[in-house]
Every structure is written in C-alpha cells, then in structure tokens.
Amino acid sequence: MRYVIAGNGIAGISAAEAIRQLDPSGHVTMVGDEKAVPYSRPMISMVLDGSIPFEKLPIRVPSVYEDLNIETRFGNRISAIDVADHEIVLLNRQRIPFDRLLIATGADARSVEAKDANLKNIHYLRTRDHVRQIVDKLPHTRKPLVLGGGLVGFKAAYGLLKRGFKPTMLITSAYPLSIQVDGTAGKVILDELVRNGLTVRVGISVIAFEGNEAVMGAQLSDGSTLPCDLVIAGKGVAPSLSFVPRDSISMGQGIRVDEYLETSLKGVYAAGDVAECVDIARKRRWVNAIWPEAAMQGRTAGMNMAGRNISYTGSVSRNVMRIFGLDLMTLGLANPEPDSDCRMLSTHDLRNNRYRKLVFRENVLVGAVLLGRIEQGGLLLALIRNETPIGISKKKLLEPGFNFRQLMN
C-alpha cells in the first residue's frame, strides 16, 4: 500500500504514526513545504511573548521520520492532485503516486488587502519562520501595529504587551475575540488589554502602507495616518486547499469529509484545519481550526487509511487563554447568533472579573464562556461533546462548585 500524507503539521504526523502502528510495511511518503520536525504551532505565540525559547517548539525528536520508516519530501509545495492517475504533483513538477492520500495542509493566514502590503516588516504569525523573523525585528521596533482582533491578532498583541511594547490594534468589531466571546466578556478582555498598554481602534482598517523599503506608516480608513515600524497581521486563516480539484472533491469552507474522514473521492482523506467535519454543538458542518481536533482527526484518518473502520464523532470548538491575570475558556457554540434556537444563562461578578455564560439547545449544553474561573471547563466540554441531557436545574451548572455527582441526582 502506498500512503501519501500532504502536510507536516499535527494532523499529518498523527496520521503517519497511526498508519505505522497498523501497517508496518506500507510505503509512507510525507510532503510539506515547511522543512521543520513537527512543532507546536500554538506555541509560536509563546515564543513571541518571550515565555519559551524557539528551541522548545518541536513536538517530536529529529529522527521521527527515520524511526517510522517514512520517506520525506519537505521543502516542496503541492500544486495539484491528478485524480485520474492517483498522483500528487509538486510545484517542481515531480509526481508521487498514491493508493491512499491524506490532505492535511492546514490553513494559510489571510492576506492583508491594502496597498503596499509587501513592504518589509509587515508579517503574518502562522509558522515558526514567521515568529523567528518577528522576534529578530523586536530590538529595532518602536511602534508595533496589530491588524485584527481574532485569535491570532489577540495573541500577537498580547505577546508584544508581554515584551513591554505598547502596540496599537485595529479591529473592525467592537472588541477583540468577538467570534469567541460575547460583549460582556469582550469588554472585560478589552479593559484588561488596555490597562496593560494596548491602544485599540475600533471599526477601522488599513487601506495602504507607507514606507520606502520598510513600513513606516499605515493609512487608515478614517483618513488618518498611523506611524508604525512593525506590523503583525492577524486577519484570520483560510484552509490551504488551492491544489484540490473542486470538480472531484466536494468542498464547502473546507474539504468535506464523512465520519471516517474520507472525502467524496474514494481513498482520499482530509484532517485538521483544512477539513470540514460535523460540529457537534452547531449541528452542522464547520471547520474547527484547533490543535486537539487536528490531532484527533489526523489519528483517526490514519487508522482508516490503514484499513480500520473508526468513526470520528465530530468536533467541538474550544480555546483557553490567559490575559495577564485573567483566565478565559470558551467552549462550543459560545457566541450564538441572536436569532438562534439557543437559550442563555449567565452570572457575573464583574468587579472581580468573573463571568460565566452557558448556552443550551433545549436541555443540552452546547456552549460556554468562562471568565475568571475555568476549573470546570473539562466537565462542561464533556457535557457538550456527549450531548448529555441535563436533568437537573440548569442554573446549577452556573455554580463554581458544580460537579459530576450533582448531575446524577
């Protein structure tokens, strides 16, 4: 059996390890454009904030491919899949045949739509090379600018604040992390960031950059100009699937997969940030671009490629963040549309930065925002993932001392 794994992130390596466990003799080739041993992508933001050194990023030993007897073709970008001949095609026109293919190419940072966005010192924060370039520039940086207040924009701003900078963040929504949290939690987070030195400008975007070689300023949508000498763009991510033939493989926001992580094309699987699976809380297809789901999907896809029939029950979104002294956890459908069929319960003690919101669909928990005290996050996640019917007063789940035993009563 010839297995090809496209993408060398957590989904790709988890699949490779699962295949090897079940099929010691099959030929496995991994292809990826990054040359690194698999590393923790979420932790690049910790390199930026200075809490870990660059060398701590790898999550496997350098000999991992040799140990698993895997052929590697790294430093190569895939440009096409030849469906008729069962081959992937690299940018250098080399072809690699497969019997089973896993697409685990993750996501790419969305580009900044502004004039002269290719000036020096305008960066994205997706790869270890990106963070290395940013950290190298920090000794010469005086006026950093962050574009976007989503997960990556937030982490970029937080990293700069932790390094002692006073960055400016431009966001189109009213507060950072607006996809993850509602206005109440958003305001607490915004205040905490501002108290620690962040300037946030709301409802504003960049239309052009100024500078000769390197960036020196940003022209903003309100007509003003903002001096800046380092820009980190966190405008979200998009699944990396430009080489996937749409006429043969069904796609929505990402590559659509069934419960075995197989695409609409037999023998071709997808996992991780590139894949669109069922979201348990949303009850619809969704791309949940988070690390633990990428790992689980990769492993499950690998087992299925090697002949097991293991179903993946679906994904649940979740994030845990520390914002200086404030802990935040979001789970599932944490911020539903106002016209959704969900009911919300919440409690707060905003003087002490405590807030807890639970989202229910009928008698099933589908989402939560925990601010301040997050200890019961694991329990709430299990309730969401298992769609456990709540047979007790739902208000009990708002209590910080709530535990499993109370559910049984």
Nearer to ligand FAD, 126 or 361 (CB): 126
Positions in 208-267 near ligand FAD (CB under 6 A): 240, 243
Name the residue with tokens 């029939």. Answer: 309
Closest CA relative to residue 335, chosen from 352, 355, 313, 351: 355
Among 3, 4, 5, 7, contact with ligand FAD (rule: CB under 6 A): 7
Q: Is 276 in the site for ligand FAD (CB under 6 A)?
A: no
CB 253, min distance to ligand FAD, A:
14
E strand spans, 280-405: 284-286, 318-323, 326-332, 343-349, 354-361, 364-371
Nearer to ligand FAD, 320 or 382 (CB): 320
Residue 37 carries which DSSP code?
P
Among 19, 32, 304, 369, contact with ligand FAD (rule: CB under 6 A): 32
What distance, in Å, lies between the first and last C-alpha atoms of the chain?
52
Question: Among the candidate windows 26-34, 253-261, 372-380, 393-401, which touches ligand FAD by CB under 6 A?
Answer: 26-34
10-22 vs 291-305: helix crossing angle, rounded to 10: 30
Size of the site for ligand FAD (CB under 6 A): 35
Closest CA relative to residue 209, chosen from 109, 112, 114: 114
Query: SS3 for 407?
Result: helix
CA distance 227 to 206: 12
Among 102, 122, 157, 289, contact with ligand FAD (rule: CB under 6 A): 289
How far, rounded to the nearest angstrom, does the alpha carbon of residue 152 sit from its chain's CA centroid? 8
Interaction mask 143-182, ligand FAD, x per CB under 6 A: ---------x--x---------------------------
Q: CB-based burial of residue 372 (10 Å sphere; 0-12 exposed, 13-18 middle, 19+ buried)? A: buried
Among 12, 149, 176, 372, contact with ligand FAD (rule: CB under 6 A): 12
Binding site for ligand FAD (CB under 6 A): 6-12, 31-34, 41-42, 44-45, 77-78, 104-107, 125-126, 152, 155, 240, 243, 272-273, 289-292, 294, 319
